[in-house]
Amino acid sequence: MISHRDRNAQRIAALDERAEALGLKRGMGIADARAMHPAIDIEEADAQADRLLLEGLADWCDRYTPLVALDGADGLFLDIAGCAHLFGGERAMLDTMLTRFLQQGFIARAGIASAAGAAWAAARFASGSIVAVGEEAALLAPLPLSALRIEPAVRESLESVGLRRVGAVMATPRAPLARRFGALLLERLDQALGRSDEAVSPRLPAAPLSVERHLAEPITQIEEIERLTASLSQTLKHDLERRGEGARALGLMLFRVDGAVSQIAIGTSRPLRDPLLIQKLFHERLAATGQEYEVGYGFDLVRLSVLSVAAFDMQQTDLTGEIKDAEADIALFADRVRARLGDNAVRRPISVASHLPERSIALVAFTDAPASKSKNRVPSISLSERPVRLFRSPEPVEVPATELPEGPPLHFRWRRALYRVVRAEGPERIAPEWWRESIPDAMAKEGEDAGEVKNRAVAEKTASLTRDYFRIEDAEGRRYWLFRQGLYDAGRTSPRWFMHGIFA
């Protein structure tokens, strides 16, 4: 028995047949139930876990159709248009599904109808039934009002005027119903009767293309999965060729016999349709995660879907039958590394228009890099010298003394070692980008208007973040890039020093 907290009292949220046989009901207070039957077993409801379970079931249902939608906390919509024949027709599909749910330990109720509302009612009140087109009214007429997916308040007020069955509501004139109980009631009625369309929004976007293979004998070896991937991508290739497209992202869904579903997705940096290359990419991915795979009793359904496509440019080969394409090699290399080690394993630097050293180079994942080099945008050559290595975040440096307050240090301590400065060049002052920084609120002084206050706040913030960079050479000839953050100013703590990079 499951309890939950509702209106300040622990109440029964769900219960099994044995509890029902004891005369307990949903919504009853836990204290009352315990008073009646002290031996009952009560668990606290866990909405999160319920949700996860439902999503897991939805994943499993993906094997029947890619369009699976969650319905509230306890239902699933499956759009099986065009899928039923794969499983031997609607009746056979429904039966297998219910059997397999039962085998997994779930008691499921299911119904098939051409309208979502009718299917909802059929699943809940006439499990196992298949409602043909036009028979919705016959199904719904004898059912109670809760078959209509309406608010409990509306249902209660309908029942209070004597409309206890759906058939009664259907026979009532529509205009007074709408006026008294709202338009939603009629909409639900129409949806249940198939008079108006209802969009069921699936959890996962449907892939433009997908191929799957149902296996009579589950496979357990990774090599078998790879081989299967190759043959599936061979099938995909024809479709992609017909559409003149290549895959930019591919997903491999592995359905385990016991219901768990795992998905492996890979991205490619250029449109791809060669089965060999696709297999290679999946090979890397499977090799990287190979040890962690829980194979269990094996996979009985493998689906390869193209998650996104892009136009595929055909290239003409030269006389020796080879395509001179230097970037294809690099792209494939990058794709393989990314498939194995994650998207951030291969990155490419890009110049950004910024004066701040750490912002002026952005590292982007290989795919995000523009294919064509736009050279006219950012002036990439700067006259000032920059270090060859930059620390991810500037490292604090202890500077015991400077000859002049604004000059370079004489000694500094970095990573617990003391360095003596032999020569220094600088400073090169780099001010922060005030248009990006958040400006703290400043107290207004007398005679200042809001604009002046803001300007002062900006000036103070800028001063505290301004950096003076020095190129420094130590006694052994190592060259460093140090900066002092902040300006010497009255009433403020003395500026701190940081190591930001090292020169060659």
Partner 1 sequence: MAKDAVAREIVFALRRQIAKIEGTLPECLEAPARADITVVRRGGQAEGNDALSNRALASLALSTGAGCLDAALGGGLPQGALTEIHGLETRDAGAVTGFVLALAGLAVGAAQGEAGLATPIVWIGMTETFGEAGFPYARGLQSSFGVGPESLLFCEARKLADALWIAEEAARLSTSAAVVLEIRGNPRRLDLTATRRLHARAQQTGRPLFLLRQAALAEPTAAPVRLVVLPAPSGLRETVAGPLTGSIGLPAFAVSISKSAYASNGQFILEWNPDERIFMERGAGERSAGEIRAKDPFAVVSLPRHGADSAAAPGAVVAFKPALGRQARKPAAGDQPPRPQRAAHRGARRAG
Could you say which residues in the range 319-358 bind partner 1, by CB under 8 A? 326-327, 329-330, 333-334, 336-337, 340-341, 344-351, 357
Closer residue to partner 1, CB minimum distance, 104 or 455: 455
Q: Is 392 in the site for partner 1 (CB under 8 A)?
A: yes
Is 426 near partner 1 (CB under 8 A)?
yes
Rounded to the nearest whole angstrom, what is the least distance from the CB of residue 412 to partner 1 in the complex? 13
Based on CB atoms, which residue is closest to partner 1, 45 or 453? Answer: 453
In angstroms, rounded to a whole number, what is the distance separating the alpha carbons of residues 140 and 165?
9
427 binds partner 1 (CB under 8 A): yes
Total residue length of the chain? 504
Element (H or E) spanning 177, and its range?
helix 174-181
CB-nearer residue toward partner 1: 52 or 422: 422
Beta carbon nearer to partner 1, 268 or 360:
360
Contact with partner 1 (CB under 8 A) among 39, 175, 450, 490: 490
Write out the H or E segment, with its range, that includes residue 246.
strand 245-256
| Cβ 84 vs Cβ 93: under 8 Å | yes
Give the number of residues in contact with partner 1, rule: CB under 8 A.
76
Q: Nearest approach, Cβ of 440 to partner 1 (angstroms)?
A: 16
Taking residues 439 to 478 in sequence order and writing x for each that binds partner 1 by CB under 8 A, - otherwise, the string is ------x-------------xx--x-------x-x--xxx
By CB under 8 A, name the one of 47, 133, 422, 431 that touches partner 1: 422
In whole angstroms, the minimum distance from the beta carbon of 498 to partner 1 comes to: 13
Contact 257, 297 (CB under 8 A): yes
Q: Please identify which residue in the block is written with the tokens 């590292």.
A: 363
Residue number, 199 or 490, with CB nearest to partner 1: 490
- Facing residues of 68 across strands? 78
Does residue number 385 form part of the binding site for partner 1 (CB under 8 A)? yes
Rounded least distance, CB 405 to partner 1, Å: 5
- Distance in Å, CB of 463 to partner 1, minimum: 7
DSSP code, position 321? S
Q: Rg of the chain's alpha carbons, rounded to an integer?
A: 34
Closest contact distance (angstroms) between CB of 386 and partner 1 is 4
Pairing of strands 417-430, 467-474: antiparallel
Query: If DSSP states are collapsed to H, E and C, what string results for 377-425?
Result: CCCCCCCCCCCCEEEEEEEEEECCCECCCCCCECEEEECCEEEEEEEEE
Q: Which of 489, 488, 491, 500 is CA-nearest to residue 407?
A: 488
Compute φ and ψ for 356, nearest 5 degrees: -70, 130
The C-alpha atoms of residue 58 and residue 203 are separated, in whole angstroms, by 9
Amino acid letter for position 357: P
Min dist CB 377 to partner 1, Å, is 12
Residue 410 interacts with partner 1 (CB under 8 A): yes or no: yes
